[in-house]
């Protein structure tokens, strides 16, 4: 197996090729926001399901989803190893995904118990289908290879179009409802898959090659790579720092700023500048390298977001400016960690191939690495909630409270904790990455 060195010869690799690859990021972004934000309110308010029972179902479904990610990564590797590629499997998963979104939002059963069972089954299936598409898509891009700027371009097109999907989904789901959102998702999936079928493809084995098998050693192999473990540790610290404000933003806007009606504007400003910033971070990769550009983004986030702890009720303009400024740092977090991950896998593949007495790897490894990366991404959300919500409850905060002390604790957890975690991530980068001479 050749190490990831670029697309197959004769394929389109200009902006049209990048667009065809990245287009799937747009509809996949439609799934994340509705399932994590809209669905709980839909089942709780519209369908009358008790929140405690619903919370258990959501937690169990997300855990099953996260645990399946490494196995889905192995599946993606097995398809990337073949000339036919993963497209057919992704198309099947996309059909299940679209059907699952319709099913989970519009249960054909009545009563609390049947609706909870329906939600558990359809949501788990939808999560798995989404993860299969997302992991295969990310592994496809990682396997395109190239130097750091080239790897960053594949990631930037995927994540830039995903941000466009987040902006669209935010508007449709909150104003036009889940039916229009599901219809838009279905149509955009068809278009994106049609484009992906004509996208540049990474190197592969001939169809005549034997079908590789997998062992538990394959499943755990990324965790034996010290370079990946270092990157994963930095990613977890930085990811929790991003997930804490995402978990608490509704509480902060409602109870501290008293601007709940302006939440879509704040989120729109944040994601819009995030999308605009992606080309700027691509330039930073060329000038500084991906890891140094990433740590610059961490430092910039602390400077831009830190002043949020000084805001009071009615400071909508100041908060909008903070959203715009910190959104510029979002492009770094969306583009650069995955660029570094692709480099780690590329170096591991070359090292394995060149080791004395070592056999060449029979399959790509981008999928299994991406599977563990996706698991860590979802773990970030769980850890953020596990850190922030119990701390706030212990400090006397409940939604809707106007206790000055409780609101100050909310402000500290929302604004100061992420900045502290970003600084820890920067320190970890220095000790685990920069001092080791990694890039």
Contact predicate 193/137, CB 8 Å = no
Contacts of residue 75, defined as CB under 8 A and 6 or more positions apart, other chains included, come to: 89, 132, 136, 367
Report the pLDDT value the prediction gives residue 215, as an integer from 0 to 100. Answer: 60
Report the pLDDT value the prediction gives residue 4, as an integer from 0 to 100. Answer: 41
Q: Where are the domains of the chain?
A: 11-204, 224-354+361-439
Q: Which CATH class is domain 11-204?
A: mainly alpha
Residue 81, both tokens: 């190893």
Nearest to 143 by CA among 348, 319, 416: 348
Report the pLDDT value the prediction gives residue 273, as an integer from 0 to 100. Answer: 93
Report the pLDDT value the prediction gives residue 52, as an integer from 0 to 100. Answer: 66
Nearest to 321 by CA among 280, 265, 275: 265
Helices (H), 357-399: 366-394
Report the pLDDT value the prediction gives residue 414, as an integer from 0 to 100. Answer: 93
Please measure the distance between the N-terminal and C-terminal CA atoms of the chain and give it in whole angstroms: 24
1.20.1090.10, 1.20.1250.20, 1.10.8.50, 3.30.70.270: CATH of 224-354+361-439: 1.20.1250.20
CA distance 240 to 413: 12
Report the pLDDT value the prediction gives residue 2, as an integer from 0 to 100. Answer: 37
CA distance 46 to 285: 46
CA distance 138 to 236: 18
Q: Is the pTM of this model over 0.85?
A: no
pLDDT in tens, the chain (439 residues): 333 445 554 455 688 889 999 999 999 988 876 676 677 667 766 777 775 677 677 777 878 888 888 888 888 888 887 777 889 999 999 999 999 999 988 888 888 888 888 888 998 899 899 999 999 999 898 888 778 888 889 988 998 898 888 888 877 876 787 888 889 999 999 999 999 999 888 776 555 455 555 565 677 788 888 999 999 999 999 999 998 888 788 889 989 999 988 988 898 899 889 989 999 999 999 999 999 999 999 999 999 999 999 999 999 999 999 999 999 999 999 889 988 998 888 887 776 655 444 444 445 688 888 889 888 888 887 777 677 777 887 888 877 878 889 899 999 999 999 999 999 999 999 998 887 767 6
């Amino acid at each position: 197996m050749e190490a990831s060195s670029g697309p197959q010869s004769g394929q389109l690799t200009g902006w049209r090729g990048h667009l065809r690859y990245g287009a799937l990021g747009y509809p996949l972004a439609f799934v994340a926001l509705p399932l994590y934000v809209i669905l709980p309110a839909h089942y709780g308010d519209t369908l009358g399901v008790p929140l405690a029972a619903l919370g258990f179902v959501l937690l169990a479904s997300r855990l099953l989803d996260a645990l399946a990610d490494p196995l889905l990564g192995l599946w993606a590797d097995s398809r990337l190893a073949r000339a036919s590629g993963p497209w057919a499997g992704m198309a099947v998963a996309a059909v299940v995904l679209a059907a699952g979104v319709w099913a989970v939002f519009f249960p054909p059963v009545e009563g609390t118990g049947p609706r909870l069972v329906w939600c558990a089954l359809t949501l788990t299936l939808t999560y798995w289908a989404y993860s299969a598409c997302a992991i295969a898509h990310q592994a496809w891009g990682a396997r395109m290879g190239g130097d750091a700027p080239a790897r960053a371009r594949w990631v930037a097109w995927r994540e830039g179009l995903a941000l466009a999907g987040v902006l669209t989904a935010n508007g449709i789901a909150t104003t036009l409802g889940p039916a229009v959102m599901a219809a838009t998702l279905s149509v955009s999936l068809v278009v994106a898959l049609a484009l992906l079928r004509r996208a540049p493809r990474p190197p592969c084995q001939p169809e005549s090659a034997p079908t590789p098998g997998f062992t538990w050693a394959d499943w755990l192999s990324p965790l034996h790579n010290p370079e990946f473990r270092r990157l994963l540790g930095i990613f977890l610290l930085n990811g929790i720092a991003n997930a804490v404000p995402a978990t608490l933003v509704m509480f902060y806007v409602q109870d501290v700023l008293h601007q709940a009606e302006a939440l879509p504007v704040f989120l729109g400003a944040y994601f819009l500048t995030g999308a605009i910033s992606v080309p700027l971070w691509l330039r930073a990769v060329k000038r500084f390298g991906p890891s140094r550009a990433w740590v610059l983004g961490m430092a910039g986030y602390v400077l831009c977001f830190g002043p949020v702890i000084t805001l009071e009720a009615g400071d909508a303009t100041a908060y909008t400016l903070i959203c715009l400024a910190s959104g510029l740092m979002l492009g770094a977090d969306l583009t650069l960690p995955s660029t570094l991950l692709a480099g780690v896998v590329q170096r591991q593949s070359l090292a394995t191939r060149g080791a004395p007495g070592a056999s060449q790897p029979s399959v790509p490894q981008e999928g299994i690495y991406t599977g563990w990366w996706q698991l860590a991404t979802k773990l970030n959300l769980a850890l953020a909630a596990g850190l922030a919500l119990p701390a706030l409850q212990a400090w006397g905060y409940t939604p809707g409270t106007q206790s000055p002390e409780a609101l100050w604790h909310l402000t500290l957890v929302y604004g100061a904790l992420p900045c502290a975690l970003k600084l820890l991530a920067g320190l970890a980068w220095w000790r685990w990455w920069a001092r080791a001479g990694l890039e």
